[in-house]
Structure 1
């Protein structure tokens, strides 16, 4: 039996009410901290040239391998990354050397080279992590560094200098290593006059003096008395400096004239369509600034500015190691939210509570006073590893800068234009939406990357 109704029902009343509406929402809009924090530099002419001092350091210091199943071979030309062979180009001899490397497997904890023993082999790390261990200040062992894929040690074995290992090298994870003994090297050297000449030139110190960054040293005199003859010097520049051309993200936004004419109250349809389209373009822009092969920060970070984690998850020790790479005015860390959570777990495990900094009302976690901003554009691999970036920013600090060009035709936002393309025979209005951008690392030590950051939660990640 239906109960008697004494007042107007809400379902009927809604026919006379005005519905309050939100603007269209979109889930993939993020805080985009990188776009907010990068200083943006005007790139007139669509390009930005990074002039640097001439450097004599050739290559990236990392050896590349060919992997065929369980077999690993070094690419012959990559042997030029070893300091004694730098600049040597005889491919036949390099192939002979590459063919004499033997593959070895080491389990975690196994010693590859023992301190005090003769340096009679050069080792190339094809896969895995190796601890460099030396004596601590008070007699105990200290981990002096971690070497990962593509790194090497023992290259002095290629010279006639008879030395001993100063440090012990011990496998931290399962390692695949290629080794070349001095006996094998000598056999190739005896049959290659060009190699003998190259090694003689390398060992006689005929190369120009360099500073720790590979730049030609500027000759100076200090602390002198009287009237000595002062050294003469000059600063040379790279002859072919790198140029960054502005990249573009574009789309064509289409709106039917009937929609634009009739359905504009209380919200403008074209405005809302354009707002969401621009949000998507800005998200793509941040993704490209991190991942693009040509100018993205992850792909263009100097390999000497990359370090692996010591144990897997990001620990306070790893973050400190990253700070040693970018110690000149570090601006901020950038990490995937999962990596930030993994770092928080490691801090909690040690009883540490990182500080926070206030950024426009947002409480941002910080380490050593340097804020850690989240960015979901940093990739997480299928094995749940990611990277953490630390950078110095701005032209004045020789840091990382964003590139754009303002004042372009039909500019809607800085570096972004919305251009009317017309109305077609279907009565559809078209707008060309374009965002122009790029990024530049002014000097290599402006950006450091912590690689192989495990973000998985569990006992395996904490081991």
Structure 2
């Protein structure tokens, strides 16, 4: 008798799936793209229509200008001041004599300071301007109960003491103590007086600065508005007016553009069930939106990371982002809407909270749970760079025109608009039967008042 079991097992008993798939309709997903993020900054910024393409930020006149950081260059152990950078000192703001600035830059004296050493002592004559070339220092003043009160931190490029050079007899109101090893550059009052004696232009400039400094100012450095309160009878009321900046900043809309090409044969024959041209445009627009958020943060003209006022930039106390650091950042402004940080920085902040036994309550934005501190959400954005030394930054912002905050700028109703301020314009079909489309996105951002935007600098991410 013949054994047919092996033969029976090798014969196909039904239609195979490989053949059946030839008759089936394949379910397809739209084209996917790596690198698409939630783009929270674009979603949370209030957007203001700019019909003329330019947005002018008018402000009250402020006297405390030129309070920036001074640029320095180093050659081996030698650190030198860049002459033009001396105009970042309020005392020399607007002074343009290159020869005098160079002479002053060459007269700075360099010295090294050990950790814990006092750089200047409270009560001693304030007869020099001091630049912190490298390291970290703290300002200290006696507290009510004889404890040292920390007034602030100083990092690379910060300076102090230039106000005292415009007058005589002033004393240091605080001490400055080195936290790490520091390199400081000092310019004495005698050198400045000698330079002023040799340069009538510098002498006139210093005298004009002293007069401006004596003008009545409010706590924000704006021209004070004289007023009277609590008086009785027919007291003579003070007379005042509100002055404006003569050269307000203007923000022009920036543009991100690309040319998309689609072959007419592809668009004509292969657009079912999905329109090839529309899918190409969808992916292109998504990439442009990613670039838009990157530019809003990193563009050197209007990017938020480059437009934080120097008084609103604070260093970390110890390196990693701590609750104390975020408290300091919150205290610099009213009604902070949200923090913005790289996801790895948010993770580092979480580790610091856990180390202290703190577990912040999350908050929800548009249905997404986010880490929060003091009820203010910490919004993630991978567009904030992480530098090669493993540090990054945290932004804190108040938003909206009504709150004098940070706003996004765009223009509605542009030709061939497919989304607000985004246009897709058909250029034409070239000789290879390829249809070209010009895709343009117009945008910018503005900071209405300096305290609307703050930044925690040099945040260490750690392991």
TM-score by length of 2: 0.91
- Does the 8 A contact of 1:399 with 1:443 survive in 2? yes
- Does the 8 A contact of 1:111 with 1:171 survive in 2? yes
Partner of 2:431: 425
Partner of 1:340: 346
- Does the 8 A contact of 2:253 with 2:409 survive in 1? yes
Instruction: Calculate the aligned-residue CA RMSD, in Å.
Output: 2.3
Change (3 A) 1:384 1:206: closer
Partner of 1:460: none
| Per-residue deviation, residues 269-291 of structure 1 (Å, max 9, x unmatched) | 11111100000000011111111
Matching of residue 437 in structure 1 with residue 455 in structure 2: no
Partner of 1:257: 264
| Per-residue deviation, residues 336-368 of structure 1 (Å, max 9, x unmatched) | 111111111111111111221111220011111
* Contiguous gaps of at least 5 residues in structure 1: 458-463
Give how far 1:304 is off: 1.7
Distance (whole Å) between structure 2 residues aligned to residue 220 and residue 251 of structure 1: 56
Distance (whole Å) between structure 2 residues aligned to residue 205 and residue 362 of structure 1: 51
Change (3 A) 1:430 1:184: closer
- Identify which of 449, 452, 456 aligns with 1:450: 456
- Identify which of 223, 239, 263 aligns with 2:230: 223
Counterparts of residues 378-393 of structure 1 (less than 5 Å): 378-393=384-399
Change (3 A) 1:193 1:256: closer
Change (3 A) 1:201 1:36: closer
For the residue of structure 1 that corresponds to 2:328, the secondary structure is helix
Distance (whole Å) between structure 2 residues aligned to residue 432 and residue 249 of structure 1: 11
- Identify which of 386, 397, 404 aligns with 2:410: 404
- Does the 8 A contact of 1:60 with 1:302 survive in 2? no
Distance (whole Å) between structure 1 residues aligned to residue 256 and residue 212 of structure 2: 50
Give how far 1:88 is off: 5.1
Partner of 2:363: 357
Change (3 A) 1:257 1:138: same
For the residue of structure 2 that corresponds to 1:229, the secondary structure is coil
Counterparts of residues 188-203 of structure 1 (less than 5 Å): 188=195, 191=198, 199=206
For the residue of structure 2 that corresponds to 1:354, the secondary structure is coil
Partner of 2:52: 45
Distance (whole Å) between structure 1 residues aligned to residue 213 and residue 123 of structure 2: 30
- Identify which of 229, 234, 237 aligns with 2:241: 234
Change (3 A) 1:454 1:426: same
Give how far 1:68 is off: 2.8
Partner of 1:72: 79
Q: How many equivalent residue pairs?
A: 456
Counterparts of residues 45-64 of structure 1 (less than 5 Å): 45-64=52-71
- Does the 8 A contact of 2:218 with 2:224 survive in 1? yes
Matching of residue 181 in structure 1 with residue 188 in structure 2: yes
- Does the 8 A contact of 1:404 with 1:437 survive in 2? yes
Distance (whole Å) between structure 2 residues aligned to residue 264 and residue 286 of structure 1: 31
- Does the 8 A contact of 2:67 with 2:90 survive in 1? no
Give how far 1:432 is off: 1.1
Give how far 1:149 is off: 1.9
Distance (whole Å) between structure 1 residues aligned to residue 86 and residue 202 of structure 2: 13
Change (3 A) 1:226 1:90: farther
For the residue of structure 1 that corresponds to 2:441, the secondary structure is strand
For the residue of structure 2 that corresponds to 1:311, the secondary structure is coil
| Per-residue deviation, residues 383-415 of structure 1 (Å, max 9, x unmatched) | 111111111111111111111111111110111
Matching of residue 283 in structure 1 with residue 283 in structure 2: no
Which stretch shows the higher mean deviation, 358-367 or 186-195? Answer: 186-195
Change (3 A) 1:183 1:235: closer
Which stretch shows the higher mean deviation, 46-55 or 168-177? Answer: 168-177
Partner of 1:17: 24
- Does the 8 A contact of 1:307 with 1:451 survive in 2? yes
Partner of 2:104: 97
Distance (whole Å) between structure 1 residues aligned to residue 424 and residue 107 of structure 2: 61
Distance (whole Å) between structure 2 residues aligned to residue 159 and residue 245 of structure 1: 38
Distance (whole Å) between structure 2 residues aligned to residue 272 and residue 81 of structure 1: 50
- Identify which of 267, 277, 285 aligns with 1:270: 277
Give how far 1:66 is off: 2.9
Counterparts of residues 279-318 of structure 1 (less than 5 Å): 279-318=286-325
Partner of 1:461: none
Change (3 A) 1:340 1:103: same
- Does the 8 A contact of 2:122 with 2:171 survive in 1? yes
- Identify which of 212, 218, 227 aligns with 2:219: 212
Which stretch shows the higher mean deviation, 168-177 or 239-248? Answer: 168-177
TM-score by length of 1: 0.91
Partner of 1:320: 327
* Contiguous gaps of at least 5 residues in structure 2: 1-5
Which stretch shows the higher mean deviation, 17-26 or 137-146? Answer: 137-146
Change (3 A) 1:255 1:156: closer
Matching of residue 8 in structure 1 with residue 15 in structure 2: yes
Distance (whole Å) between structure 1 residues aligned to residue 175 and residue 52 of structure 2: 53
Rg comparison, structure with higher value: 2
